[in-house]
Structure 1
Amino acid sequence: MDHKQLGYFLTLAETLHFARASEQCHVSAPTLSRQIKQLEQELGTELFVRDNRSVKLTAHGKAFVDYAQATLAKWRQFKSQCQDSDGPLTGELSMYCSVTATYSFTYDLFAVFRKQYPAIELNLNTGDPAFSIQHVHTGKEDVAVAVKPENLPQGLAYLPLGQSELAIIAPVMDCPLTDLINKHHQDSHLWEKLPFIMPEHGVLKERIDDFCVAQSLTPKVYAHVSGHEAMVALASLGFGVACVPQIVLDQSPFVNQVQHLDTNNLQGLEAIEIGLICKQKRLQDPVVSALWQCATALFA
């Protein structure tokens, strides 16, 4: 087996979906399936149970997750120890963040880092920020930009990068939802009448849940969506209202196609904090430490 196969395995073990895993690994689904099959043949056991509807880890597959994570972590540590102290710092570093974060934080950080350490290979993977902590915790990524949760898991280092207010948005186009808002904008029960586009998971979902509890509201959910950027798009089309970070809205191509709903007198929509995270022990890696120091100098 090679380290690339272990990476493929961990991605599929996390997503339990061949199409999503192949997309994240930047390979075709048949290639991913073939690599997993080769790995299973080498191990002499099945790692996944597959059928037409689902993919599940076997008992051996669950045990192999720990082995794969530990092996890749030791491999990265060994490569770091092989650094030539007289030469430029080399190696690889992977970061996970949302598309918005690539504009708001990652671009400036990578620009500084690239200038100081041009021999390091940077790998940037984008997706739903709700997965940021999970990707770092499982060892899939070295570092990630994440919304800070109320309780940060033990063993993770955290560096604040900035904050963002939360906004509840609705479309500006003429549609039944706009008519409903205009008709009941002074109604104290307006929120009960509105369809909501909700995030599937993550800190933002927790904040919206807090907002609903504070308003004694059971929201009418039109759809659950993965990714904040997609929530803005659906809100602009009139499918429902959405609560999104202002920083996401500022970078969205649909910013002029939505309006803010008044939440000044409402509780439960405190600003979110955004930061850089990695495993505490990974800061011993010279490559990860170099990025962390650049971020500290840039955002302190």
Structure 2
Amino acid sequence: MDYKDLQVFLSLCSCLHLGKASVQLHMSPSTLSRRLARMEEEAGAQLLTRDTTPLQLTAAGERFRQHAEQTLLSWQELRTALSTEVSDLSGRLTLYCSVTASYSFLADLLSRFRERYPLVDLRIHTGDAAESIPRALSGEADVVIAARPEQLPQELTFKAIAASPLLFIAPRAPGAVSALTRSDIDWSAVPMVLSETGLARTRVNRWFESRGITPHIYAQVTGNEAIVSMVALGVGAGVVPELVLRNSPMAGRVRVLNVQPELEPFSIGLCAPTQRLHEPLLQALWKTAVI
């Protein structure tokens, strides 16, 4: 069980409703339910009763809630204490990531890195997520924040820092896409807004192919952020990583569809050339990117 699980559980405790918590966490109710079941299995006890509205904490759940709060507080105190260690390491690092990754991970990572290594000059470049791995391979960036590709080039090493489910999303406005109003969705009739290339497109293509469905592609875009905006306008359904939806200003205008089976989630992390990981600057950043 990791710190993210504890944060998810505390969100559930604050909402006491799977649906509301899933919206707050930008994950499907089924994903949240399975995550709770996994936590209960690891804890060896039922933590929440699901047959009441609102949900209720069991006695074990209340003890687990206190444990989660204390653990996360201790973790934050440790991070604060470690950040006071200042190094005289100097030099320059170039980091590349998508705009979404800069919102989701960069601020926290750089805050800790700058506190420990104030003399290091960090050059940050942002752009299309699909460019991350190529930039690491070409040497245009010393390190990138990226989703782990299905086949990681052997020249690169990847360090996971977070997971992001891939979500099917639809307009929140009722009846905006008529094909989505049926209880049994005919996916061949749903206009889809998808990324033009990249890992998300590969996985959604595989999802359709495994079901013998030829998708109705309404639009293909570069970058995931535009997918949320187009879906919010009511032109169709889309597929985006959870972290993109979480940081989108249009998140309140779309809803997450409960689609089974779910798409394989992204593993997000740092990626850099393996042969350079011995370099002090890269080692410093690698150690700062705690899971």
TM range (shorter): 0.5 to 0.7
> Which residue does 1:284 correspond to in 2?
278
Equivalent residue number for residue 179 of structure 2: 180
Partner of 1:210: 206
Q: Which runs of 5+ in 2 are unaligned?
A: 1-86
Q: What is the CA-CA distance between 1:272 and the residue it aligns to?
A: 1.6
In 2, distance between residues paired with 1:176 and 1:169?
12
**1:266 corresponds to 2:261:** yes
- Please state if 1:231 is matched with 2:224: no
Per-residue deviation at 1:213?
1.2
The runs of 5 or more residues in structure 1 that have no matched partner are: 1-86
Q: CA deviation at 1:284?
A: 2.9
CA distance in structure 1 between the partners assigned to 2:88 and 2:284 by the alignment: 12
User: Counterparts of 1:125 and 1:207 in 2: how far apart (Å)?
Assistant: 27
Question: What TM-score, normalized by structure 1, do the two folds share?
Answer: 0.65
Matches within 5 A, 1:107-118: 107-118=107-118
Q: 1:201 aligns with which of 184, 193, 197?
A: 197
Deviation at 1:218, TM superposition (A): 1.0
Distance 1:124 1:234 in 2: 28
Shift of 1:180: 3.4
1:176 deviation in Å? 4.5
- 2:143 equivalent in structure 1: 143
Matched residues in 2 for 1:106 and 1:170: separation? Answer: 28
CA distance in 2, matches of 1:217, 1:128: 28
Give the 3-state SS of the residue equivalent to 1:92 in structure 2.
strand
Task: Give the deviation of 1:240 after TM superposition.
Answer: 1.9
Shift in Å, 1:174: 5.3
Q: CA RMSD in A?
A: 1.6
What is the correspondence of 1:88-127 to structure 2 with a 5 Å cutoff?
88-127=88-127
Q: Displacement, 1:175?
A: 6.2
Matched, 1:256 2:255: no
Residues of 2 paired with 1:156 and 1:217: CA distance?
A: 35
Number of the residue aligned with 1:294? 288
The residue number in structure 1 matching 2:47 is none
- Tell me the residue number matched to 2:67: none
The structural deviation recorded for 1:131 is: 1.3
CA deviations over 1:244-297 (Å, ceiling 9, x no partner): 11121111111110012220x335x121211110001222322122111211xx
1:29-178 equivalent positions in 2, closer than 5 A: 88-173=88-173, 176-177=176-177
- Three-state SS of the structure 2 residue aligned to 1:186 is coil
Q: Match for 2:248: what amino acid?
A: S
Secondary structure (helix, strand or coil) at the match of 2:133 reads: helix
Higher Rg: 1
Residues 175 and 238 in structure 1, CA contact (< 8 A), matched pair in contact too: no
Pairwise CA distance, 1:173: 2.7
The AA in structure 2 aligned to 1:266 is P
Instruction: Report the residue type matching 2:179 in the other structure.
Output: L
SS in 1 for 2:213: coil
The residue identity in structure 2 corresponding to 1:100 is T
Shift of 1:117: 0.8
Once the two structures are superposed, residues 182-229 of structure 1 have per-residue CA deviations (whole angstroms, 9 ceiling, x without a partner) of 2xx2235x2111111111111111111111112211111111111111
Amino acid at match of 1:241: A
1:211, 1:274 → 2: CA distance? 21
**1:284 partner SS:** coil
Moved >6 Å (runs of 4+): none
Looking at structure 2, the residues matched to 119 and 252 of structure 1 have their Cα atoms a distance apart, in angstroms, of 33
Aligned positions, number: 205
Q: Which residue of 1 aligns with 2:237?
A: 241
Q: Does 1:192 align with 2:191?
A: no
